[in-house]
């Protein structure tokens, strides 16, 4: 783009208050001639909204909008993902990935209020977050144009950014710069880069800020009880809590017991594997508890299908496809499965682990009378005979006609034909 090509036009920038986006404010103004409006959504990591607003203005923004979006984040993004059992590649609870579509939505809303035709974000060209922003904006407002200075154009090293900021009187934190790239919100903390790029290297202590080293956690376990209503957690140890409070409390409590550390090599959408460290105590505890309750109240078939869809759901969230029809359709199924997911889960937090200690539910499909090996057994043992006769019918038919496992058959896997006369293997003599 040529210099000052957008003179006088408004661009709304997703603003974190960090160095990159602060420099981007000045850069968008000076290089393109934009009037910059910043948009900051607090999803649980912004400590001081006033300070961020001041910093945006000091960086050259015409207007700085800040919003506490924590409640919306939990209700409309975190809870549905919890109900879906969405864990990317079986582990990552998707904190960052869930936050992006909401930040994009806030950005689009502000762009509409300001009659802007341009929005911008500070994502690099190598990660998932650029995809999530771009796709979300594309789905919500296809007429808006997205500018990503960090993906091209701005091209500054960290030292150059500091220099650029100093020259313009943009406050640069005196605090020692973090050796990592960190993103955090209520649902978790994502840490990458620096020494973590060596996948064999043990993460140093300074990576962790929410959780204690499990070795240094209290020796005594702590028991907690979480109650769910229709798939949503509503209380902790009997205290009814709103979503934000509940998640905050569990992050603190879990962190104290070293729960919620995840070290993962994951597949980014752009085709590279990356090593991430996550801290997500509340997410780990709540997913564990929710899953345990589902095990008790959902049928085997629903559990099976839901587990498959959980993977699909996690992928779509990770890949930035939040605002799609596919998501709406999956969410409708998930919501329907949650109508009996009410009850209580008892967990034990101890030195890095959150383990299920007990569960109960008015909709439980677990029946002691059917399960017991003791007195009061109501299961009809004799009926099993007929059941197995029918269940095994195709297998016996096949055995009679195809001799799959008999003498001389081909498909013997590695089992010796006569297991009892198997050739003796030589033992190593020491």
Q: Is 20 a catalytic site residue? A: yes
279 lies in the binding site for ligand ARG (CB under 6 A): no
- Of 128, 185, 211, 251, which one interacts with ligand ARG (CB under 6 A)? 128
Q: Is 113 a catalytic site residue? A: no
Catalytic residue among 45, 178, 181, 235: 181
> Which region among 13-21, 160-168, 190-198, 207-215 touches ligand ARG (by CB under 6 A)?
190-198
> Strands, E, within 268-352: which ranges?
273-279, 343-350
Nearest Cα neighbor of 366 from 387, 384, 340, 391 is 340
Dist CA 90 CA 88 (whole Å): 5
- Is residue 295 a contact partner of residue 358, using CB atoms and an 8 Å limit? no
181 lies in the binding site for ligand ARG (CB under 6 A): yes
Nearest Cα neighbor of 37 from 53, 20, 19, 49 is 53
Least CB distance from residue 246 to ligand ARG, whole Å? Answer: 23
Least CB distance from residue 129 to ligand ARG, whole Å? Answer: 6
Task: Quote the tokens at residue 86.
Answer: 């969405």
Dist CA 277 CA 315 (whole Å): 19
The residues pairing with 188 across neighbouring beta strands, listed in sequence order, are 185
Residue the block writes with tokens 């590695």? 414
Q: Is 129 a catalytic site residue? A: yes
96 lies in the binding site for ligand ARG (CB under 6 A): yes
185 lies in the binding site for ligand ARG (CB under 6 A): no
364 lies in the binding site for ligand ARG (CB under 6 A): no
Catalytic residue among 20, 42, 134, 183: 20
Least CB distance from residue 278 to ligand ARG, whole Å? Answer: 8
- Is residue 56 a contact partner of residue 40, using CB atoms and an 8 Å limit? yes
Q: Is 181 a catalytic site residue? A: yes
> Which region among 42-50, 186-194, 359-367, 417-425 touches ligand ARG (by CB under 6 A)?
186-194
178 lies in the binding site for ligand ARG (CB under 6 A): no
190 lies in the binding site for ligand ARG (CB under 6 A): yes
* CA separation, residue 139 to residues 55, 229, 240, 268, 323 (Å): 30, 32, 36, 21, 6
Least CB distance from residue 298 to ligand ARG, whole Å? Answer: 28
Residue 153, by phi and psi: left (phi above 0), alpha (psi -120 to 50) or beta?
A: left
97 lies in the binding site for ligand ARG (CB under 6 A): yes
192 lies in the binding site for ligand ARG (CB under 6 A): yes
Burial 264-293 (b: 16+ CB within 10 A, else e): eebeeeeeeebbbbbbbbbbbbbbbbbbbb
Dist CA 177 CA 165 (whole Å): 15
- Of 20, 42, 276, 294, which one interacts with ligand ARG (CB under 6 A)? 276
- Of 20, 42, 183, 294, which one interacts with ligand ARG (CB under 6 A)? 183
Least CB distance from residue 404 to ligand ARG, whole Å? Answer: 47
Dist CA 133 CA 122 (whole Å): 10
134 lies in the binding site for ligand ARG (CB under 6 A): no
Task: Quote the tokens at residue 2.
Answer: 């040529």
Q: How many residues bind ligand ARG (CB under 6 A)?
A: 10
Task: Quote the tokens at residue 81.
Answer: 């993902």
Enumerate the active-site residues.
Answer: 20, 100, 129, 181
- Which residues form the interface with ligand ARG (CB under 6 A)? 96-97, 128, 181-183, 190-192, 276
């Amino acid at each position: 783009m040529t210099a000052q090509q957008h003179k006088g036009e408004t661009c709304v920038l997703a603003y974190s208050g960090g160095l990159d986006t602060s420099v981007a404010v000045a850069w968008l103004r000076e290089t393109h001639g934009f009037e910059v409006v910043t948009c900051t959504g607090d999803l649980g990591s912004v400590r001081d909204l006033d300070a961020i607003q001041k910093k945006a203005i000091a960086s050259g923004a015409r207007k700085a909008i800040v919003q506490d979006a924590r409640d919306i984040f939990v209700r409309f993004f975190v809870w549905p993902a919890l109900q879906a059992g969405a864990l990317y590649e079986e582990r990552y609870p998707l904190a960052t990935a869930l936050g992006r579509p909401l930040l994009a939505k806030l950005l689009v809303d502000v762009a509409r209020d300001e009659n802007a035709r341009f929005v911008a974000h500070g994502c690099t060209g190598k990660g998932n977050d650029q995809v999530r922003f771009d796709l979300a904006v594309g789905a919500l407002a296809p007429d808006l144009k997205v500018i990503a200075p960090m993906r091209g154009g701005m091209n500054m090293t960290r030292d150059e950014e500091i220099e650029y900021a100093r020259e313009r009187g943009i406050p640069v934190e005196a605090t020692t710069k973090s050796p990592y790239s960190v993103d955090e919100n209520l649902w978790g903390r994502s840490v990458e880069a620096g020494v973590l790029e060596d996948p064999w290297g043990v993460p140093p202590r300074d990576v962790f800020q929410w959780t204690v080293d499990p070795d240094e956690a209290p020796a005594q376990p702590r028991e907690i009880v979480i109650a769910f209503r229709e798939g949503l957690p509503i209380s902790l140890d009997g205290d009814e809590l709103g979503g934000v409070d509940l998640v905050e409390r569990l992050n603190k409590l879990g962190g104290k017991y070293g729960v919620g550390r995840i070290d993962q090599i994951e597949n980014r959408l752009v085709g590279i594997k990356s090593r991430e460290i996550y801290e997500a105590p509340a997410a780990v505890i709540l997913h564990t508890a929710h899953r345990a309750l589902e095990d008790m109240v959902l049928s085997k078939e629903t559990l099976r299908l839901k587990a498959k869809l959980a993977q699909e759901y996690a992928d779509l969230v990770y890949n930035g496809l939040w605002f799609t029809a596919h998501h709406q359709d999956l969410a409708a199924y998930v919501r329907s499965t949650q109508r009996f997911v009410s009850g209580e889960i008892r967990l034990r937090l101890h030195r890095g682990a959150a383990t299920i200690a007990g569960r109960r539910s008015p909709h439980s499909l677990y029946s002691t009378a059917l399960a017991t090996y003791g007195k009061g057994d109501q299961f009809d043992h004799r009926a099993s005979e007929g059941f197995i006769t029918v269940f095994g019918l195709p297998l016996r038919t096949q055995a009679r006609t195809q001799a799959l496992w008999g003498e001389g058959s081909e498909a013997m896997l590695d089992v010796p034909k006569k297991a009892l006369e198997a050739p003796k293997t030589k033992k190593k003599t020491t």
